[in-house]
Amino acid sequence: MSDTQKEQELERLKSEVKGQGNVPAHVAVIMDGNGRWAQRHNLPISDGHAAGVRAAKSTVKIARETGVGVLTLYTFSVQNWRRSKSEVRALMELLSQSALKEVDELAQEGVRVVVSGNLRGIPMAQRKAIEMVIKRTAGGDKLILNLALNYGGREEIVKAVRDIVTEVGEGKLEPNEINEEIFKAHLYTSGLPDPDLLIRTSGEMRISNFLLWQSAYTEFYVTDILWPDFDEVEFCRALIEYAQRQRRFGAR
């Protein structure tokens, strides 16, 4: 497909998304396949991650253009620390470089960046870069970009339990007051809607410790496309399929 044909297809799909309506308020993405993409192109894995950043940038753009309210990207999990030191170092450097490079455009486009995860576990240089982006984009009202960074779903749930137990011990909360809303308020994603649609690239059929509580009634969309090749056209196709589904939330 030529660039012109691809642009025409994108415009057609964007029109279809708008025509169908029912755009998900919150889309979450497990960005999988950078390493396999690099292997397929005989490139170092750092080039795969750099290509993944470019895919993330185009996804932010199309999410804003199609009316998605919140986009959560699984940026770095707590399990990712188990990777080789060289790969982790490359990922951290890419994180801070991307933050500094993209902050002005994000602010201009009305994108507000927030983080779900333990920022205190991130190296100081990267933490300062992310905190700067959060501050600079605080006024964004077109899209919330939620970076799941140093994030784990089980770890998030354990943290919420600990925080609630502490409040009970301090007399700030009675045990019989604990309900789903109280629990949600202690999650990293407090204040954000649960994801309507979760996209996973590279064909893997697992949730990988991502938004375990929040995804109770989320629709899943899995594609064999590796993340660096997941573009605006593919994002629109995911939204179109989502719009055709019936969400019953346990009811008939």
Q: Could you give the residue ranges of the DSSP H alpha helices within 170-212?
A: 180-184
- Taking the domains of the chain in order of start, what are their residue ranges? 23-152+194-243
How far is Cα 23 from Cα 54, in angstroms, rounded to an integer? 23
Per-residue pLDDT at 252: 61
* Burial status of residue 82 (CB atoms within 10 A of its CB: 0-12, 13-18, 19 or more): exposed
CA–CA distance, 26 with 196 (Å, rounded to integer): 5
Q: Measure the CA angle with vertex 55, ends 135 and 131; round to 5°.
A: 15
Pick the CATH number of 23-152+194-243 from 1.10.390.10, 3.40.50.700, 3.40.50.620, 3.40.1180.10: 3.40.1180.10
Among residues 47, 80, 118, 194, which one is catalytic? 80
- Facing residues of 112 across strands? 144
Whether 32 is catalytic is yes
Alpha-carbon distances of 43 from 32, 46, 87, 91, 183, rounded to whole Å: 17, 8, 14, 16, 44
Alpha-carbon distance of 7 to 55, in angstroms, equals 16
Q: How far is CA 179 from CA 25, 116, 166, in A?
A: 24, 21, 16
Res 248: pLDDT: 74
Q: What is the pLDDT of residue 15?
A: 93
The catalytic residue among 32, 34, 146, 196 is 32
SS3 at position 216: coil
Residue 191 CB coordination number (10 Å): 9
Distance CA 64, CA 17 (A): 13
CB 117, CB 43: distance < 8 Å: no
- Spatial distance between the Cα atoms of 156 and 6, rounded to a whole number of angstroms: 40
Q: 10 Å Cβ neighbour count for 42?
A: 7
The amino acid that residue 64 corresponds to is: R
Q: How many CA within 13 A on the CB side of residue 208?
A: 21
The secondary structure of the chain in percent helix, strand, coil, rounded to multiples of 5, reads: 50, 15, 35
What pLDDT sits at residue 12? Answer: 95
The number of residues making up the chain comes to 252
The tens place of each residue's pLDDT in the chain, 252 residues long, gives 678 888 899 999 999 998 988 999 999 999 999 999 999 999 999 999 999 999 999 999 999 999 999 999 999 999 999 999 999 999 999 999 999 999 999 999 999 999 999 999 999 999 999 999 999 999 999 999 999 999 999 999 999 999 999 999 999 999 999 999 999 999 999 999 999 999 999 999 999 999 999 999 999 999 999 999 999 999 999 999 999 998 777 766
Helix or strand or coil: residue 250? Answer: coil
Catalytic annotation present for 34: no
* Residue 143: strand pairing partners: 111
Give the model's pLDDT for residue 251: 65
